[in-house]
Amino acid sequence: MKKRKFGLAMSLVLAAGTMLAACGSNDKDNNDAGEKPAAGNDTEKSEFSIAMVTDVGGVDDKSFNQSAWKGVKEFGEEQGWAKGTGGFDYLQSTDPADYTTNLNNLARRDFNLIFGVGFLMEDAIADIAAQQKDTEFAIIDGEVDAPNVTSILFKEQEGGYLAGVAAALMTKSDKIGFIGGMDIPVIERFEAGFLAGVAAVKPEIKVDTKYTGAFDKAELGKAEASRMYSSGVDIIFHAAGGTGNGVFSEAKERKQADKDAYVWVIGVDSDQYDEGKVGDDNITLTSMLKRVDVAVKDIAQQSMDGKFPGGETKVYGLHDNGVSLADSRGAIPQDVLDQIDEYAQKIADGEVEVPEFVEKKK
């Protein structure tokens, strides 16, 4: 990765990021049992089809699920498919009890490749994959040992590290916060990288860390953000899915009350710039992009080509565009972006190895 690649990559994801909102609420409203066949140019079913099951955050969570759906939808549309059986589709889970039912529903509709979004879907995918051996499955953020399942993981710690560098270089109070959803390995990787990035720039900063225990409780995110901002924290990085929407709400309320308030949020998974709009201002400093869409399209292509990596674990990181930072739209000055580029280069070159786990407090 050459110097300035980070800056160029941020520009490229801007165009992709602006499409995310269109992939959300309208699809949710129109999603049904999915029994309609996909209607392409000739209304015939395609020879290959893909689908996904969301976790409880929903397909339009402006975060993890939405990025996965973006990949599924873009891949399908690139093939000329339409949404529905025989093309591309999704089923939304409102409760963990829905996972098995939804996966089985899609398998019985003869989708060739089915993605399950989230660590919590491991058991459901393991069960259904054992029953539906002719169907290929991929689990995102989890690992299932089965010949017809590919496990997809990310080096969240690398993107978290860059977010930490950005926060440490941009804080005025030297007080920074991290709000996580459930305390599980994938979220710990976000935290571990973030803490390491902050420490690389300003080792004297102690990051205020809190796990809310949920990915779909915006009120919990808002309450923790209120506590942190009130204590002097000026930048919060969230890795909490829908719970993170509450972090944005709190920051926006403070910005509305005081236009000069120096409060920022670092988004996660997708480009969350639009979530930070406050009139002519914006409280989104940047977003740590977890390119689930990139991984989804990569595995879908391999599967369609007859090269499905069943029984394997695929890991996507900074080197292969699996993680990155979104365009800051001017929130981060160029001299700071240049420093972030330098850290990104060191990670890509192997000069910096980012920890996956948080060092336990004694």
Give tens-digit pLDDT for 272-314.
999 999 999 999 999 999 999 999 999 999 999 999 999 999 9
Write out pLDDT tens, residues 114-140: 999 999 999 999 999 999 999 999 999
User: Are the C-beta atoms of 235 and 264 separated by less than 8 Å?
Assistant: yes
CATH 3.40.50.2300 residue ranges in the chain?
5-154+292-320, 156-289+327-348
User: Are the C-beta atoms of 239 and 57 separated by less than 8 Å?
Assistant: no
pLDDT at 222 over 50: yes
Q: How far apart are CA 362 and CA 242, in angstroms?
A: 32
Superfamily designation of domain 156-289+327-348:
Response regulator (3.40.50.2300)
Task: Give 102's pLDDT tier (boundaries 50, 70, 90).
Answer: very high
Q: What is the pLDDT, as a whole number, of residue 81?
A: 97
Residue 211 DSSP label:
E
How distant, in Å, are the alpha carbons of 174, 241, 267, 271 from that of 63? 27, 6, 8, 8
Q: For 198-217, what is the mean pLDDT?
A: 96
Q: For 54-70, what is the mean pLDDT?
A: 89
What is the rounded average pLDDT for all residues in the chain? 89
User: Are the C-beta atoms of 22 and 361 separated by less than 8 Å?
Assistant: no
Q: What is the pLDDT, as a whole number, of residue 251?
A: 98
pLDDT at 16 over 50: no
In one letter, which amino acid is 68? A
Write out pLDDT tens, residues 135-174: 999 999 999 999 999 999 999 999 999 999 999 999 999 9
Q: For 236-254, what is the mean pLDDT?
A: 96
How distant, in Å, are the alpha carbons of 1, 50, 285, 310, 351 from that of 74? 26, 11, 27, 23, 35
What fold, for 5-154+292-320? Answer: Rossmann fold (3.40.50)
pLDDT at 361 over 90: no
Least confident range of 57-61, 220-224, 310-314: 57-61
Q: What is the pLDDT, as a whole number, of residue 33?
A: 43
Global pTM value: 0.81
Other CB atoms within 10 A of residue 29 CB: 9
